[in-house]
Amino acid sequence: MPTFHTKDITDKHFLITGGAGFIGSHIVEYLLNNNAGKVTVLDNLSTGSIKNVELFLGNSNYEFIEGDIRNAETCAKACNNIDYVSHQAALGSVPRSVKDPITTNEVNIGGFVNMITAAKNAKVKSFTYASSSSVYGDEPNLPKKEQLTGNLLSPYAVTKMTNELYASVFGRLYGLNVVGLRYFNVFGPRQDPFGPYAAVIPLFINGIINNKDVFINGDGEQTRDFTFVENAVQANIKGMLCENNDAFGQAYNVAVGANFSVNFLYITIKTLLNLEHNPIYREQREGDIRNSLADISKAKNLLGYNPTQNFLDGLKITVDFFKKNNF
């Protein structure tokens, strides 16, 4: 992975909430590989994996705290002596939020307020957090520009928009340096293919490799700006270490700026695996948007974000990972 920073971080202490999860563990890996002074992970392992903790336990600069962001005291303790926070802990998935809005709200809003309050009280240098492209709702224009959002389509989207509102207020009221990252369909190695709320790319790869049923919602012509995890890591590093005062208090699209249909995704994975397989089409999912494509110019201009991996190159890396790891 390329280096995304120039600042000396050998004496800096980073807190990654949700660091046992997919994106969080890649942020941890980057920081440890680049000699960060200390990296602390806070995760309750409800959706994160103990395997993503065990990857780093041999590193003396790594610390794991098993705890829940719904507990304010846990958040406060985790923020002790922290310089930079990357807040990835959340309950993901639009369908999960439709089925269980109460827990999604408790974790994604209650937990967020606990964490940002703890960060403010600890006087951290910056607080970068995961938002989502779901905040665009039914806004029809493409590409998606940060200032134009529509009616929200799921409880999950409500929680992420609420995070952005809280972050903006904390920035203005308390002077906390906050950066929000609206992820667009992030994928890559270590993304969990199992469980009822698994993301589409690991689900497809796992299903095709193991000759299991693969479902495509609707006609499959819906499009997404699929974003390789390396790009999300870059955005977090640029957000945490940002020194551009004009960049704080805002949310940014984190994507590549190119979109592909789910049908194209399926065919490409099948081709990369060199396997025969046929999908099963079913009804469209509640709360899903039809088309997604990001304008990433704001992140480029204010954060210096510049995607290093496009969709197809990232997909090849991801497919190779799943093949080698026998998923």
> What's the CA gap between 318 and 88, in Å, rounded?
21
Tokens of 187: 């994928």
Longest dimension (CA), the chain: 57
Please enumerate in sequence order all residues whose Cβ is within 8 A of that of 306, keeping only pairs 6 or more positions apart, or say none: 234, 300
Reported as type and span, the H/E element at residue 254 is strand 250-254
Catalytic residue among 84, 156, 183, 305: 156
**Which residue carries 């945490």 as its tokens?**
240
Q: Contact, 170 vs 178, CB < 8 A?
A: yes
Q: Contact, 322 vs 272, CB < 8 A?
A: no
> What's the CA gap between 62 and 322, in Å, rounded?
26
> What's the CA gap between 77 and 97, in Å, rounded?
29
Buried b (16+ CB within 10 A) or exposed e, 42-79: bbbeebbbeebbebbeeeebbbbeebbbeeeebbbebb
Decide if 252 is catalytic: no
What are the backbone dihedrals phi and psi of residue 227, each rounded to the nearest 5 degrees, phi first?
Answer: -125, 115
178-183 sheet: strands from edge to edge: 62-66, 38-43, 13-17, 84-87, 126-132, 178-183, 250-254
116 phi-psi bin (left φ>0, alpha ψ -120 to 50, beta other): alpha
> What's the CA gap between 272 and 287, in Å, rounded?
30
Tokens of 287: 């709360």
Q: Per DSSP, which regions of 198-249 are E strands?
A: 215-217, 223-224, 227-228
What residues act catalytically?
Answer: 156
